[in-house]
Structure 1
């Protein structure tokens, strides 16, 4: 069902996750790229990001346990295992070849007015929608049971809304202040017996941690981490089965980023880096392989409603499913290097 309050709060948390990482560390929040780096060359910052994602369970459990994503059980048969690995491979190859997924291209790329990201989004979104229609012709999903139209909004209780606002405010405040507090700690002089601490490095790792925390909270609260919720968005234009929640994620995740980037720009260095680490490729670098990769990702996304960020959260909850999907993702990424 359409959840405008929860989805709006979750989308704003996704905005804060990408904004904090960009203007504090100078990095783009790309879930597929970070996941690939975790497998190939993990760093303290990368591990900090995924530790933050894992830590999202605890504040959610304390303040809004009903919004912790509940995943459908997966019977591990040979057929299911091969399908899960295959979908992971599609997503892995597609995101490697097209240099990103929904987080890097949609949340971050569109807000930077990247032509390459616009091409990627304009490719994988309709491909995902078409794939969902072909594979699930009834368009029914578990997110919209019963006879009520899926677009009909439902609202949380006043207590739940207050808890979500409190959780969001505390998380954003921590993400904005804790890394800066760490960076403000005086570094011991080189003449001291103790080796000087690299406070900037620690602050960057803290930023990664809180960005991962905000990112995961945003996915859980908006329920974009739930495969059926995403699949119901792909049921458009069938109004009976269409859940427009994802449209709010696009609007309230991308638009605030766009406004902030237009206001701040990239002339002033980020807080904990000498310069921004932004993609250098432009629209001129778009080729057939890039579009094919975006389309492959769209197929994988449309088949299951799961992209790399939500896949990480599901892997925490269902490790066997996660090991299968991640294996396919890793193999797909390796094939993308060929």
Structure 2
């Protein structure tokens, strides 16, 4: 069902996760790239980010159990296992070819006004929509269990849930913005100034960078779960448009309260000064000249996988932590699919 309050707050946390990592460590939060790094050449920062994502379940479980995502039971048939591996491989191959997925291109790329990311999103979104309509002609999803109440009918949290949710979002936001700086102040030479370039490999700022990674992962995981985007049915319900009976417009609020704040902050702050804990921003600058058949084909392949399952790499990580057998199949396919693309 449509959850405007929870989704809006969760979307703002997605904004915080991506811009905090960008302006403190100089990195783009691209879930597919990070997941690939985890298996190809893991680093402390990569491991710390995923540790943060894993930790995001704890505050929800203890304080907001109603917001913990309950995933569908994993089928134990051979055909279901092959399907999980196949979709994972399609997403892995597509995101490797297209250099990103929903987080890297949609959340981070669009807000930087990247023509490369705009092309990717303009490809995988309609392909996912079309794929969902073809593969699931009934358009039924478990996110809309009622056959009489339209899925776009809003539901609202109780006052206690809302107050707890706002408190959690505030604490996580403040921690992400200020805790790494406090740690940096305690571990670096007081004579060091922002005018001096600090390389990412500097041992003096390593604790601050790791803290940023952990808190970005934590905030990102919370955002995915609170918005409901971690649940495949929630995503598929959005892709059911224009069938209004089963359409859940929640993802539209992710665009409004996740991408738009990213856009505003990036346009206001720009990239004239280096990030807090790095000497430079580490993301590729691509124009329309860089758009090629690989980007379009890879984005389309990812769109097919996303439209079939409602799962992209970020939510897949969270589900894999809760359902390891499914995770072994999907992530294994993702890794294998990516290996088919030459670096």
Q: TM-score per shorter chain, which class?
A: over 0.9
Q: State how 1:1-338 maps to structure 2 within 5 Å.
A: 1-146=1-146, 147-187=148-188, 198-337=203-342
How far did 1:80 drift? 0.8
Q: Is the 8 A contact 1:187 1:198 kept in 2?
A: no
How far did 1:188 drift? 7.8
Distance of aligned partners of 1:292 and 1:164 in 2 relative to their CA distance in 1, 3 Å threshold = same
Equivalence for 1:192? none
How far apart, in 2, do the equivalents of 1:139 and 1:5 lie?
A: 25
How far did 1:185 drift? 1.2
How far did 1:167 drift? 0.6
How far did 1:198 drift? 2.1
Give SS of 1:184's match: helix
Q: Is the 8 A contact 2:188 2:205 kept in 1?
A: no
Q: Superposition RMSD on alpha carbons, in Å? A: 1.2
Q: Is the 8 A contact 1:185 1:199 kept in 2?
A: no
Equivalence for 1:193? none
1:231-253 C-alpha deviation (Å, 9 max, x unpaired) = 00000001111000000001111
1:19-50 C-alpha deviation (Å, 9 max, x unpaired) = 10000001110000000000000001101100
1:66-111 C-alpha deviation (Å, 9 max, x unpaired) = 1111000012221111100000000000000000000000000000
How far apart, in 2, do the equivalents of 1:159 and 1:277 lie?
A: 41
Give SS of 2:149's match: coil
Q: Is the 8 A contact 2:38 2:46 kept in 1?
A: yes
1:182-203 C-alpha deviation (Å, 9 max, x unpaired) = 11114489xxxxxxx9231111
Distance of aligned partners of 1:154 and 1:60 in 2 relative to their CA distance in 1, 3 Å threshold = same
TM-score, length basis structure 2:
0.95
How far did 1:337 drift? 1.8
How far apart, in 2, do the equivalents of 1:294 and 1:187 lie?
A: 42
Moved more, 18-27 or 170-179: 170-179
Where does structure 1 lack aligned partners over 5 or more consecutive residues? 190-196
Q: Is the 8 A contact 2:25 2:212 kept in 1?
A: yes
Moved more, 214-223 or 280-289: 280-289
How many residues were matched structurally? 331
How far apart, in 2, do the equivalents of 1:44 and 1:136 lie?
A: 41
Distance of aligned partners of 1:166 and 1:262 in 2 relative to their CA distance in 1, 3 Å threshold = same
How far apart, in 1, do the equivalents of 2:25 and 2:230 lie?
A: 25
How far apart, in 2, do the equivalents of 1:67 and 1:126 lie?
A: 29
Give SS of 1:167's match: helix
How far apart, in 1, do the equivalents of 2:210 and 2:309 lie?
A: 32
Equivalence for 2:195? none
How far apart, in 1, do the equivalents of 2:77 and 2:204 lie?
A: 49
Give SS of 2:139's match: coil
